[in-house]
Each structure stands twice: as structure tokens, then as C-alpha cells.
Amino acid sequence: MAGELTTQGYIKHHLTNASVGEGFWTWHVDTLAWSILLGLVFIISFYAVARKATVGVPGKFQCFVEMIVEFVGNSVKDTFHGKNPLIAPLALTIFVWVLLMNTMDIIPVDWLPSLAALIGGESWETISSGQSHIYMKVVPTTDLNMTAALALGVFILMIFYSIKIKGVGGFLKELYAHPFNTPWLYWFNFILEVIALIAKPMSLALRLFGNLYAGELIFILIAGLMGVWQLPAHFIWAAFHLLVIPLQAFIFMMLTIVYLSLAHEDH
Amino acid sequence: MNLNATLLGETIAFIVFVWFTMKFVWPPLNGAIEERQNKIADGLAAGERAEKDLELAQEKASEQLKEAKAQAADIIEQAKKRAMQIVDEETQKGHDERESIISQGHAEVVAERNRAKEDLRQQVSVLAIAGAEKILERQIDAAAHSDILDKLVAEL
């Protein structure tokens, strides 16, 4: 039966992923679906432009896409001085994909979950009382799995290029012979450097997750607590959040470039 | 909020997206941008070159104009000189002609006068003889006294 709508229940409902499976083998279906959908939006629209890209006068959409490409390309050129055909496409994918996923935050918090519940066959009373059993988190970057996956990908590339450029010995040497270059302190260096190395992907994942999760949470709190006053409050928070959305996408991209640039540096 | 299999799924999606972007999206877009940049740079360079050429041509044209003006002035100067010369020459010629005509006239006048004088002398001698004949009431042999008559004529 439909119980009372509590604020706590409302918030909890909004923070629960739609999932299948048990234990580790749980799949967050909503995160996967939305992120892959948005990723497809990115690559299909960019591919459509790339396929017909003209050197002559570009159309408006080509101009827009080229602006983003050039922006990312310049960011890469400014920071990354090696020659690696992977870095710029990687940065572009991260930037646009994360930007699109973050932008899902702007869509009012109840729209898509309610729509999903309606399609799922829940009655309107059930949905409005917060008792729906269909969950839907539409912002993939508020799922730690999503941001951790991005960070993991970057981390794997960091290790890969460190070893490729410096060799296994060079990579290990960087871990134990720095910052104190005496054998007495190698153990200390090693602890320090491994923590620093692990901290890089951790900070990447947690920064993006934390910012977007907090932003989403505030939207949910406004929607859950403020009654009629949520309308101006939503507007103000959304306007502020418009800064956070591209900023976090940009920071993730820049740090990826910086970390990979560091991985390419041979001391 | 636990890490779970979603992480693996998203990692795979990430890898696929990056691979696709690297393979099919980035190269044509960046290629088009760079090619256009080159084109624009070429165009700008060509424009600059054309501007320089134009400047050079203008300089050349103005130089030629100056030269032509100088030449024209020279020619005019020469023409003026020549005209003056011609006028001078003609004046000189006219002068000479006048002189010659005058002197010819003079000579003619003198010759005429001499002839007239001669005539007069002849007539005077005849008159003198006639007068003397009248005076002497007789025929004087003109031939016999011709020496006296001649002397008389010479004295006239």
C-alpha cells in the first residue's frame, strides 16, 4: 500500500540506483544506460561532423564541434609536449562525455525518474507518494562507479606510458629514488610515491563524483524540503551549478592531460 | 554507492568511446581544422605579398611618371629654344635680305644717276655746241674742236 511521503524516503529514493545482480556483480542499469546513451550522442554527432568535415567554409554545427575540438587541442598542446596520438582524442572524449553527463543534472530531478516509473507500470499515486519501486538516477557522474571507471582508465594509461617510456626499472626508480635520493630512505620514498600515485586517480574520481553528487543532492533537498519556494531556489542553484558542470568536466580533462604528461616525462 | 560491476562496464564503455574518437572522430576534424588554418595562413601571406607588389608597382609608376614629366619638360625646353633659334635665324635672314635689297636699290639708284649724268653730259655738250654755234654764228667743226668740247664736258 502507498505510505506517507517522507522527506527522508524521497531523498533516499532519489539516491538509489536501478540495479540488477548481487554483491559485486551488481549492475547499475541507469548509470550504464544513461552514460552509454550520452557517449553515443557524443560520438555519433561528432562522427557525423567528422565524416563530412570540409576544409572550406564550415556549417554552424561543424563550427561548434570544431570550437570544442580546437579548445581541447589547444589545452593538450599547452600542457602535453610529447607526441602521442591518443592524448587529444582521450581528452576530447573525457571532456564532452563528462560535460554531457554532468548536464543531466540540470534536468529537474523528478522528471525522468517519474517518467521511468510511469513507463514501468507504476500508478501516479504510487509515484507521487514516493513508494515507486522503479529507481532511476539520471546523472551518471553522481555514481562513483562511473567516475572511478574514468579514473581507472586514466590510471591504466598512466602506468602503461610510464613503463613504455621509462621501462619497468625507470618507473620503479621513480617510485623509490624520489624525493630523497639516498638508499637509507628508499623505503620512505616508496611509501610516499605509491600514495601519491594512487592519490591521482582517487582524487580524479572523487572530485568529479563529490561535486556532482553534492550538486544533485542539493537539487533533491530543494525539491524535497522547500515546497513552493523550490522554484526560485532551483533556478538560483541551477544557475550556480551551470558553472560547476563545465568546470568539473574541464578539470577532469586537464588533470588527465597533466597526469599523462607526467607519465611521459623521463627524469 | 559501493563499487561494483558497473565499474567494469563503464571502463569498457570508456575504452570503446576513446578508441572510436581516436580512430574516426579526432583525425578528420583536426585535419580539417589544420588544413583550413594552413589555407588561411597562405591566404594572408598571399595578401601581404600582393600588397607589397602593389606598393612596388605604385612606386614604379610614380617614378615613371616623374621621368615622363621631366622628359616632357626637356622636350618643351628644347622646342622653345629651337623656336627662338628659328625666329632669330629668320630675323637675321630678313635683315640680310633687307640689307641686300637696300644695297641693290642703292646701286641701281647710283647707276641710274650716273647714266642720267652721262646723258645730261651728252646733252649738255650738244647744247653747249649748239649755244656756241649760235654765239659764233657759224658752223664750228665739231670734229675739229672736239678736244675742247671734251674738256668742257669733263669739267661739267
pLDDT of residue B141: 66
pLDDT of residue A2: 40
Q: Which of B1-15, B89-103, B119-133, B135-149 bottoms out in mean pLDDT, i.e. has the lowest?
A: B135-149
User: Which of A122, A148, A149, A119 lies closest to A133, judged by CA?
Assistant: A122
Which residues is A19 bridged to in the sheet? A28
Residue B22: its chain A contacts at CB < 8 A?
85-86, 89-90
A108 min Cα distance to partner chain B (Å): 22
Phi, psi dihedrals of residue A28, rounded to the nearest 5°: -85, 95
Q: Which three cell numbers stand for residue B101?
A: 635689297
Which residues is A28 bridged to in the sheet? A19
Helix (H, G, I), strand (E, B) or coil at A4: coil
pLDDT of residue B1: 55
Cα torsion at A60, A66, A72, A75 (round to 10°)? -100
Helix (H, G, I), strand (E, B) or coil at A20: strand
Q: Are A105 and A218 in contact (CB under 8 A)?
A: no
pLDDT of residue A122: 79
Look up A203 and say whether it is catalytic: yes
* Consecutive H or E run containing A19: strand A19-20
Give yes or no for A136 touching B (CB within 8 A).
Answer: no
**Which of B42 and A224 is assigned the larger pLDDT?**
B42
Q: Which three cell numbers stand for residue B116?
A: 642720267
Q: Which residues contact B80 (CB under 8 A, 6 or more apart)?
A: none
Q: Does the pLDDT value for residue B96 go beyond 50?
A: yes
Candidate list A84, A145, A207, A261, residue with the active-site label:
A207
B64 min Cα distance to partner chain A (Å): 42
**Which of B124 and B10 is assigned the larger pLDDT?**
B10
Instruction: Give, in order, the Cα–Cα distances in Å from B119 to each of A184, A198, B104, B151, B152.
Output: 164, 158, 22, 16, 15
Spell out the domain ranges in chain B: 5-111
Which residues is A27 bridged to in the sheet? A20
Phi, psi dihedrals of residue A20, rounded to the nearest 5°: -125, 155
Instruction: Give, in order, the Cα–Cα distances in Å from A174 to each of A246, A251, A259, B43.
Output: 34, 26, 14, 49
Q: How many other C-beta atoms can be found within 10 angstroms of the C-beta atom of residue B120? A: 13
User: Which of A260, A87, A255 lies closest to B30, judged by CA?
Assistant: A87
Read off the pLDDT of residues B19-28 as tens digits, 9 standing for 90 and up. 999 999 999 9
A141 min Cα distance to partner chain B (Å): 11
Give pLDDT tens digits along chain A (267 positions).
344 567 788 888 888 888 888 888 889 988 999 999 999 999 999 999 998 888 888 888 989 999 999 999 999 999 998 888 999 999 999 999 999 999 998 888 888 888 888 888 777 877 777 777 788 888 999 999 999 999 999 999 999 999 998 889 888 888 888 788 888 888 888 999 999 999 999 999 999 999 999 999 999 888 888 878 888 888 999 999 999 999 999 999 999 999 999 998 876
Closest to A145 (Cβ–Cβ): which among B10, B26, B39? B10
Instruction: Give, in order, the Cα–Cα distances in Å from A226 to each of A8, A173, A219, A223.
Output: 14, 56, 10, 6
pLDDT of residue A5: 65
Cis peptide upstream of residue A179 (ω within 30 degrees of 0): yes
Length of chain B: 156
Instruction: Report how far residue A78's alpha carbon sits from residue A66's, in angstroms, rounded to the nearest whole number.
Output: 18
Q: Which three cell numbers stand for residue B146?
A: 672736239
Tell me, what DSSP letter sits at residue A83? -
pLDDT of residue A1: 33
Look up A51 and say whether it is catalytic: no
B140 pLDDT band, cuts 50/70/90, is low
Question: A 222-241 residues with CB below 8 A of B?
Answer: none
In the predicted model, what is the mean pLDDT of residues B88-114? 93
